[in-house]
Amino acid sequence: MIDFTSRRQAMARRALALSILTILLVSSWSIVVHPLAEMLGADGRGLEERRAELRRLLSATQDRPDASRRLAMLKEAAQVSGLLWTGGQASDLAARMQGTLRNVVSAAGGVVQSTSDLPPTHDSGLVRISVRLDAAVTLRALAVILNQLAVTRPALFLDEIKVNSPVSVSKLNEPLLSVQMELSGYGQS
């Protein structure tokens, strides 16, 4: 006697195994192969875009030594031209910057009320030294100070300026303005 039940169960298992295999193949196609095929594009446009991106990245890495040499040359040129503050630590340079600011303000007829240095920052082999200045100056003196700072060597860069109007104005004297400035200079680190 033939056992139809065990044959049916075996056929059912085979059918179930084939359906599971078919589901796995279809899902792997839809999850892995189909997105890759779409990404590359039927005409190879995606592949060309990636090749162009790869060429651009390779070009950028090849330009790095040239950029490093140019940066070194620019630093040397800045030092030779007197743009960089040299000779000492950041605190020494900040003290020299404050002295320069005091001289510029005093020569213009202003009164320095206070100076302070801000924490230095380091970037690309340079140290940025910043100082804050509070002074009382006339409008004419402020113009002279700003002009003098524009040509000062080593260079001083005006980061921020706040000018407050005078408390009282006299018809006899030009009013004194309260001026707060933050200036920066660069030195070798």
Residue 79 above 80 pLDDT?
no
Residue 6 above 90 pLDDT?
no
What is the rounded distance in angstroms from the CA atom of residue 150 to the CA atom of residue 22?
78
Q: Is the peptide bond preceding residue 154 cis, with omega within 30 degrees of 0?
A: yes
Q: What is the pLDDT of residues 23-44, one digit of tens each?
A: 888 887 778 777 776 766 655 6
Q: What is the pLDDT of residues 111-124, one digit of tens each?
A: 999 999 999 998 77
State the pLDDT at residue 99: 93
What is the rounded distance in angstroms from the CA atom of residue 47 to the CA atom of residue 45?
5
Residue 139 above 80 pLDDT?
yes
In sequence order, what DSSP letters do the residues of 70-110 get, joined into one string?
HHHHHHHHHHHTT-SB-SS-HHHHHHHHHHHHHHHHHHTT-
CB 115 within 8 A of CB 132: yes
What is the pTM (predicted TM-score) of this model? 0.56
Q: For residues 112 and 171, which has the higher predicted lDDT (pLDDT)?
A: 112
Q: Which domains does the chain have, with CATH numbers?
A: 4-78 (no CATH), 90-188 (3.30.70.60)
Residue 50 above 70 pLDDT?
yes
Residue 51 above 90 pLDDT?
no
State the pLDDT at residue 4: 62
DSSP annotation of 138 reads: -
Residue 3 above 90 pLDDT?
no
Q: Coil, helix or strand for 1?
A: coil
State the pLDDT at residue 8: 81
How far is C-alpha 90 from the chain's CA centre?
21
What percent of the chain is predicted at pLDDT more than 70? 83
Q: What is the pLDDT of residues 89-102, one digit of tens each?
A: 888 888 999 999 99
Residue 164 above 80 pLDDT?
yes
Per the DSSP assignment, residues forming a β-bridge with 111 are 136
State the pLDDT at residue 168: 61
- Could you tell me the two tokens for 46? 């995606």
